[in-house]
Amino acid sequence: MLAVSRYAPEYVERCRNTFHATIAACGKGLSSTKGEPLVTCQLIVALEGWFAQRTRGMEGKDGNPMNEVRLLASSITHHGGVLTIEKGLRLSADSSVLGLAPGDVIAPSLHDLAHLVDAFLDAIERTYV
């Protein structure tokens, strides 16, 4: 698939609505706090999947929410859920949405995930819409 440099506003809104509905449904159905991080981590991977073909040069390397989601998804799928920063990216715990530092275990709450989704999609809208 070719790299994507523009997304339709309707596509981003559909993603936002889908994720918020999923988060709300999970909040009603999760009875164990042990299950919450499993669900939220897989939702991060899915969120990255919606925009995986985005042009990386437009994304920048300054530790923005788009970088954060990409790094989180990669860390979940390739590094056992431990945040691993790619060379050349500047992501700091102080400025990141989830406040994670390299080496931290990725286990956000549904509430934290909702904030991450909004920050990520707001950044996508500013950059790619």
pLDDT bucket at 27, cuts 50 / 70 / 90: confident
Tell me whether residue 4 is in a domain.
no
Give residue-wise pLDDT tens across range 95-122. 999 999 999 999 999 999 999 999 999 9
Total domains in the chain come to 1
**pLDDT of amino acid 92:** 92
Q: What is the mean pLDDT of the chain?
A: 93
Domain that holds residue 76: 9-128
Q: Which of 89, 90, 106 is nearest to 98 (CA)?
A: 106
**pLDDT of amino acid 2:** 79
Tell me whether residue 1 is in a domain.
no
For residues 71 and 88, is the Cβ–Cβ distance under 8 A? no
| One-letter-per-residue 3-state SS of the chain | CCCECCCCHHHHHHHHHHHHHHHHHHHHHCCCCCHHHHHHHHHHHHHHHHCCCECHHHHCCCCCHHHHHHHHHHHHHHCCCECCCCCCCCCCCCCCCCCCCCCCECCCCHHHHHHHHHHHHHHHHHHHC
Q: What is the pTM of this model?
A: 0.92
**pLDDT of amino acid 93:** 94
